[in-house]
Chains A and B, each alone.
Chain A
């Protein structure tokens, strides 16, 4: 049955999208997990609905037909990331409350604008829970370009991000502009969220950003290996989830999330030998 579906161009596109999603999920997700900012990422991903809802309303109800809602998602994600970063750097004692406020306010704005937009129940479901089977060629190109941008930034800033995530005070003593770097880091998380939400939706995107990296962390004590393993896990489990959803006719995003969570639970109690390699002589 699956092989019949594999002939379907929509399913083929969806498989490619899963493979492309593995890079932001594995690379940026590893930083999110080790820096322990899953809730900041959750807040950004949910606030995206505000920008998307607004752009969807402009596009459908106000005649801005050229306006792709993904731009709304992009700007609201970056905006939320910068606000959260600024709060983290300047008002850390109120950070958790601001995370919650941005999380819920973004969603509220999105729901209101989507309610003003005619005939958008299906759109709302797609934004919230994704619809990987609607991925088009242009989306794949967009995903590939964004992946390239993310990888380039990570390669250039890897060591500084490592220092920032492990001990930002030490990084500051080494002359790193920690505040700017933290804002860049959160912007990268925002970009990854925009990329991943096209596959899995705003509600479930946090699963793809955290579970594969956490799972990879069970097998290694090196961040670089954690990133590679997390990419492999995302590629494997998301394509597996997609295949299961096609066969069982389940919603793809929810199926992928359940398979990711299930695999983590499965591996958690097992004693594992940590994988390592030593580039340092």
Chain B
């Protein structure tokens, strides 16, 4: 098991965000996370990364975690160029003087090539389009060769070409890395993921075909989750 969350509760002050969450993720699974705004999707990712402490319960992870934040949440005025930004993904491997080995630089070059960023490597991060910036953040996360890759709406508000490049990379990584991808765009991910997790205070797991059936039946406005169901149930 790569991620094991047991009886997790989390609240900001008196506002409960997540209640009684149980979630087990197998190694190499590709999971889509969806849910309404404020439902706790990003909070769940931050709990998995250990940035937040659960009010109750446990979160256990195995392996290196890579995180791709939403590009809108980064400082686009920060004076950093693409190559510098990507190298920060291997900060743990830097020498005491903060320099990187030729091997790491080569890995960074190869990732830039794979994500079509080579011609932008000296460009300021803030001067990139949203799509290119998102690709640079993905390259930074991949440079650490993570076992678990967490992505927070990586294709929101970006151009279709960048979205395509990102999904091609994720397809390549399928089965090799555990991927949890937060999205609002169900159409784009439903045929790629092995499981869909709905987060709205509680957490429920579904097989993609169940989610498709739900919408095929025209139930666009009814919730995927019944309020009292077991949050760990995998339907189907």
Which A residues have a C-beta under 8 Å from some C-beta of B? Answer: 34, 36, 155-160, 162-163, 165-167, 169-176, 217, 220-223, 226, 274, 276, 278, 280-281
Contacts and interface: CB of A to CB of B under 8 A. Distances in A.
A169 B88 contact: no
Name A's interface SS: helix
B51 interface: yes
B78 A172 contact: no
B79 A167 contact: no
Contacts of A175: 91-92
Contacts of A278: 81, 83, 121-122
Given A158-B98, A221-B81, A170 B89 contact: yes
Contact of A280 (B83, B91, B92, B98): B83
B79 A156 contact: no
Contact of A159 (B50, B98, B124): B98
Interface of B: 49-51, 65-67, 69, 74-75, 78-81, 83-85, 87-92, 94, 96-98, 105, 109, 121-122, 124, 126-127, 140, 144
A175 B81 CA distance: 22
A222 B81 contact: yes
A223 B79 contact: yes
A34 B79 CA distance: 8
B88 A280 contact: no
Contacts of A167: 69, 74, 88
A222 to B, nearest CB: 6
A281 B83 CA distance: 9
Nearest to A221: B124
B79 A280 contact: no
A112 B92 CA distance: 49
A173 B49 contact: yes
A172 B97 CA distance: 19
Given A158-B98, A223-B80, A280-B121, 15 more contacts: A156-B97, A156-B98, A163-B91, A166-B75, A166-B78, A166-B88, A169-B51, A169-B69, A170-B89, A174-B88, A175-B91, A221-B124, A276-B122, A280-B81, A280-B105
